[in-house]
Chains A and B, each alone.
Chain A
Amino acid sequence: MKVSITNRKRSEFKEELLPRIKEIKFSFNRFKKSPLSLMGLTLIIFFLGIAIFAPQLAPPKYPHNPYRIPRDGYSAIPRPPSPEHPFGTTEGQYDIYYGVIWGTRTAFRVGLTVVGSILVIGIILGSISGYYGGVVDEVIMRIVDTFMSLPTLVLAMALVSALGRSLDNVMKALIIVGWPSYARLVRGDILSVREEDYVEAARAVGCSNLRIIFRHVLPNAIYPLLIMASLDIGAMVLTAAALSFLGLGAPVGYADWGQMTSFARNWIVGPPDNPLAYWYTITIPGLFILFFVLGWNLLGDAFRDILDPRLRRR
């Protein structure tokens, strides 16, 4: 008796899974055909490699605090690339190579933490709002409206200055600023799916609300969320870098791309006979930010083309 139940369940499970596998295969094939999305994936894998092998690529000088960029002297004037410092040193003799390598870890940490948190918060609040409706919905949506009526950077700036300057507080501020758009998206999806027949059927069978939300509503609303999350990892890293650049994020000497760009501010113009003398101080950290964000944006764009049913079968 027992065996037959599990067997039945297994075949049911398989039946349920088959179309999903087919879907993933189809998406993967589409993905392979698009050069831009492959480029995005390559960039992300490249940066992932740098982040994982950071200790090998740039052995830390202070093992207890590897994010501290080692200094070679205290002179303010940057020094050009040399065998000792492959990308040169920036103001205060901070090693640029070390900074950008470990800065990759910082970027991943900021992007994944922030977007992961706002995904969770957004899904929970959006589901509650969309599924229960009524007063709860009204209150949550007015809060969302309020947050969305403030420019991200200005609000984040105010929050960081109130919380105190640090990378952790930058992440907190970005989470506070970022969740509303996810809540709104999830709510809209739930509202449109709620009246579908299959949800009605699930309810008639006696599924709990939680089960309906997680098994029937969210899987059908997950793709727009994925697209947005991918684009947002880039956007959040960009905003965090901007805050660090403005002197509101990572402390001086911390391996963070935005913070390293701010060192370069005083060195954009070299001596009169060689105006581009200090090009490396600004170009290198900036290119790392650009390609990291570009990678996520390409990936998000590819997801959009592949997963959006209105676009993909054309």
Chain B
Amino acid sequence: MKSYIIRRVLLVIPVLFGVSIIIFAILSLFSPEQRAATFITDVRQLRDIQGVIRKHHLDAPIYMQYFSWIKEVLKGNLGWSKTASRPVLEAFFYFLPNTVELSLFSAPFIILIGIYLGSTAAVHQDKSVDHITRAIAIIGWSLPTFWFGLLLLMIFYGYFKGLFPPESLGLNSSLYVNSKDFMRFTRINTIDALLNREWWIFVDALRHLVLPVITLTVVQCALVMRIMRSSMLEVLGRGYVITARAKGADEKTVIKKHVRRNAMIPVITVSGYLFAGLMNGVVITETIFNRKGLGWWWWRAAVQLDIPAILGAVLFNGVLFVLTNLVIDLLYAYIDPRIRLG
């Protein structure tokens, strides 16, 4: 077990190094002039762009640039994001709460609904329940997130006269939230509203959350559902399930205790992909619903060529994904005796 953990932790290093290479490769795809633009703060500098390039060594050999860049990154200096009008690292913490809120509300639905539907489908394999859930999964998987979100807006914002509006807060509540009377603990609207005992803000924040959460859940749920189904089917055919049945355990106990629990392990392994899917979904969902979170910021950055923010986005996703996978693998080793003892 110990050697497994050490091996697994060491494996993080080459991947993080690889991520840094990818980010730098993206950076060097931009022309020196485009990159010089990130250093220009004054119109007068435009007269001497070549000077700016020379001053910041943008024409130096590529490996020299890589070392000076990585030195800055390790110091925590990721540059200035013009779309957020603050340094990248600060902007990151500024936009994080909105995204965390969205993921916090979607993840339980994605996992619970996915596991429930997936296991129900497997238990009733080849019956109508199975066919219907599979059809739902395939349709959910094929839905363009941006289109589905817009359709929801069209119906619940347009047709039902502003029942579930876009953005993250209404005008009144956002004025109040940003005033001095409102204590910001976590900067997550719903949690802060609860801590301040301002129910109307809590309700308002929830109303703004409904559509994005549905959008994310419907699209992401399919993956969990599909994996849960196939893993349940596999476990249902195992010897210990037959044993349990032979000993006279009723079907409910067999499914609950023997099958579903074991079938959940593959779901844990793919939750890394779930995280990646969530991040992809967040970019689109936040853009459509105009929720000012990380995804929205990255979209602005990509459209407006905000190079430091784009690179910061890749770095953040790389680091977080590597860490998530590390945690998952260690968790997996802890749960699965074949690895724990092997």
Interface residue from B29, B159, B299 paired with A275 (Cβ < 8 Å):
B159
Which residue of A is nearest B294, CB measured? A154
Interface residues of B in 114-133 (CB under 8 A from A): 131
Q: Any chain B CB within 8 A of the CB of A45?
A: no
Q: Any chain A CB within 8 A of the CB of B310?
A: yes
CA A160 to CA B310, docked complex, whole Å: 11
Given contacts A152-B276, A242-B146, is CB(A297)–CB(B310) below 8 Å?
A: no
Q: How many residues of A contact B (CB 8 A)?
A: 49
Closest chain-B Cβ to A128's Cβ sits at a distance in Å of 18
Decide if B154 touches A158 in the complex (CB within 8 Å): no
Decide if A151 touches B321 in the complex (CB within 8 Å): yes
Interface size class of B (residues with CB under 8 A): 35 or more
CA A232 to CA B313, docked complex, whole Å: 25
Which residue of B is nearest A287, CB measured? B147
CA A143 to CA B134, docked complex, whole Å: 34
Q: Any chain A CB within 8 A of the CB of B18?
A: yes
Decide if B142 touches A268 in the complex (CB within 8 Å): no
User: Which residues in B have their C-beta under 8 angstroms from that of A157?
Assistant: 283, 298-299, 302, 310, 313
In the complex, per-residue mask of A130-165: 1 if CB is within 8 Å of any chain B CB, else 0 = 000000000000110111011111110111111100
Given contacts A157-B298, A269-B154, A269-B157, is CB(A150)–CB(B19) below 8 Å?
A: yes
Q: Any chain A CB within 8 A of the CB of B4?
A: no
In the complex, per-residue mask of B322-342: 1 if CB is within 8 Å of any chain A CB, else 0 = 100100000000000000000
Which residue of B is nearest A294, CB measured? B142
Interface residues of A in 146-197 (CB under 8 A from B): 146-147, 149-155, 157-163
Interface residue from A143, A155, A161 paired with B305 (Cβ < 8 Å):
A161
User: Which residues in A have their C-beta under 8 angstroms from that of B188?
Assistant: none
Decide if B22 touches A147 in the complex (CB within 8 Å): yes
Decide if A268 touches B26 in the complex (CB within 8 Å): no
Which residue of B is nearest A157, CB measured? B302
User: Which residues in B have their C-beta under 8 angstroms from that of A289?
Assistant: 144, 147
CA A261 to CA B63, docked complex, whole Å: 42
Which residue of B is nearest A268, CB measured? B154
Q: Any chain A CB within 8 A of the CB of B107?
A: no
CA A36 to CA B134, docked complex, whole Å: 10
CA A142 to CA B142, docked complex, whole Å: 31
Q: Any chain A CB within 8 A of the CB of B141?
A: yes
Which residue of A is nearest B143, CB measured? A290
Interface residue from A146, A154, A282, A298 paired with B298 (Cβ < 8 Å):
A154
Interface residues of A in 280-301 (CB under 8 A from B): 282-283, 285-286, 289-290, 293-294, 297-298, 301
Given contacts A241-B144, A245-B146, is CB(A286)–CB(B151) below 8 Å?
A: yes
Q: Any chain B CB within 8 A of the CB of A118?
A: no
Decide if A162 touches B276 in the complex (CB within 8 Å): no
Decide if B22 touches A282 in the complex (CB within 8 Å): no
Q: Any chain A CB within 8 A of the CB of B161?
A: yes
CA A157 to CA B280, docked complex, whole Å: 10
CA A159 to CA B341, docked complex, whole Å: 43
Q: Any chain B CB within 8 A of the CB of A276?
A: yes
User: Which residues in B have their C-beta under 8 angstroms from that of A301?
Assistant: 134, 138
User: Which residues in A have their C-beta under 8 angstroms from that of B301?
Assistant: 161
Q: Any chain B CB within 8 A of the CB of A24?
A: no
User: Which residues in B have their C-beta under 8 angstroms from that of A247?
Assistant: 303
Decide if B15 touches A145 in the complex (CB within 8 Å): yes
For the complex of A and B, 8 pairs with smallest distance between CB atoms: A146-B18, A286-B147, A269-B158, A162-B29, A275-B158, A153-B280, A293-B142, A294-B142
29 contacts between A and B (CB under 8 A): A36-B131, A146-B18, A146-B22, A149-B15, A149-B321, A149-B325, A150-B19, A150-B314, A151-B276, A151-B277, A153-B284, A154-B317, A155-B22, A157-B302, A157-B313, A158-B26, A158-B311, A159-B26, A161-B310, A162-B29, A241-B144, A242-B144, A258-B146, A268-B154, A269-B157, A275-B154, A276-B154, A290-B144, A297-B141
Q: Which of B's residues lie within 8 Å of A, judged by CB?
A: 11, 14-15, 18-19, 21-22, 26-27, 29-30, 131, 134-135, 138-139, 141-147, 150-151, 153-154, 157-159, 161, 276-277, 279-280, 283-284, 287-288, 298-299, 301-303, 305, 310-311, 313-314, 317-318, 321-322, 325
